[in-house]
Amino acid sequence: MNALLETLQFVYAPQVVNGLSLGVAVILMALGLTIIFGLLDVINMAHGEFYALGAYLGMSLLGIGVGFWTALVLVPLIMLPIGYLTERALIQRVFHHKDRHILTLLLTFGMAIVLEDLFKLAFGPNPLRPDTPIAGATELFGMIFPTYRLFLMGVGVVIVAAVWWVVYRTRLGAMVRAAAYDRHMTASLGVPVLRVYAGTFAFGVALAGLAGVLLAPVYSVFPTMGKDFILMAFSVVIVGGLGSIKGAIIAGLLLTQVQALSSLYISPVWSDPLVFGIMVLVLMFRPQGLFGRLGHG
């Protein structure tokens, strides 16, 4: 009995907590992706590169002497206009075409390739890593965790709650949901739909940038960092249901726990194929995902 408790405490519990910290990070990425899809019907293939852009902006700010906490606030604010302009200048150009899905997919995919090469040119191929802003470890029920990862979980939960509140409890959120449900009706009611589109895109991108800064001390900053993360975020969005916020949160927690607990028994390298396998199964048997899309609930 004692041995079982000990195993639970020292083997399973740390794994669950570690999975949670990864889960929160993945959810931050998946949220932006799913909101942009839910509203604009655009699959943003460059989402990972916006995450990297946020991280590199953070590194540049740190480089000129700005503190980590200031950078954490500044980066999403800088990302907002970048995202807004990207939507107005690039995505709107192909948005009204009848091949919208393919064209926006190709456009964002191209942006991803260009951005990745720009990072390589500007910052070099080697990984950069900021100092951990909160050093040290914290003991929780006899388990030891890096304090920064615990902080990451706390901040992540707050951000996810804030996004939820904005989308479901504010007038702005109501406009976004309405535009997602029926944009013509919403437009005829006087909502500036095109600006809502650009604003939502900017919001999703800013969220990715914020995740980039938050995760930089854990995962380092390097040109291909977006690719590493985007696959997991896509799996979460697909399993949760394209466009569903609730789905992204629940699938994000579920899949990262599958990863964390399975890597106790198989090599962690194999936990990725396991997650993608679940995604394929969901696509086969429940292609709409676990939950419906934004505005359709």
Partner 1 sequence: MHTLTQRKLLGRLVAAALFAAGSQAALAQDAQPIRIGVVTPLSGTYAPIGAQVKMGLDLALAEINQGGGIMGRKVELLYEDEEANPQVAVQKAEKLFQQSKVDFLTGTVNSGATLAVGQVAERNDKLISTTVSFSDAITGDKCSPNVFRVNAKAGQQSVALAAWLAKEKPGSSLFLLGPDYEMGRSTVAAFKAAAQQRGVKPVGELFAPLDSKDYSSYFGQIRAAKPQVFYTSTAGNDTVRLFSQMAEYGMNKNVTMVGVSGAITAQNIKAIGKNAEGFVTGVGYSPEIDTPENKQFVEKFQKANKVLPDLYGADSYGVLYFYKAAVEKAQSTDTAKVRKAMEGLQWDTPQGRKTMRAADHQAIQDMYVVKIQDGEFSIVSKVDGKDAIDASVCKRW
- What residues line the site for partner 1 (CB under 8 A)? 7, 10-11, 14-15, 18, 22, 127, 137, 144-146, 218-220, 228, 259-260, 263-265, 267-269, 271
Coil vs helix vs strand at 272: helix
Q: Give which of 221, 217, 234 is closest to 272, Cα–Cα.
A: 234
> Of 34 and 263, which has the nearer Cβ to partner 1?
263
Q: How far is the CB of 23 from partner 1 (least distance, A)?
A: 12
Task: For the CB of residue 205, give the shortest distance to partner 1 in the complex, in Å.
Answer: 23
**Nearer CB in complex with partner 1: 167/230:** 230
Paired sense of beta strands 143-146 and 137-140, if any: antiparallel
- When the beta carbons of 73 and 135 are compared against partner 1, the nearer one is 135
Closest approach of Cβ 278 to partner 1, in Å? Answer: 17
Least distance from partner 1 to the Cβ atom of residue 158, Å: 22
Q: What are 86's two structure tokens? A: 């990207």
DSSP 3-state of 158: helix
Nearer to partner 1, 155 or 218 (CB): 218
Between residues 4 and 269, which has the closer beta carbon with respect to partner 1?
269
Of 204, 213, 216, 198, the C-alpha closest to 75 is: 213
* Least spacing, CB of residue 19 vs partner 1, in Å: 9
What tokens does 219 get? 């995962």
Neighbour-count burial of 105, counting CB atoms closer than 10 A to its CB (0-12 exposed, 13-18 middle, 19+ buried): middle
Angle value at C-alpha 138, between 134 and 140, nearest 5 degrees: 145
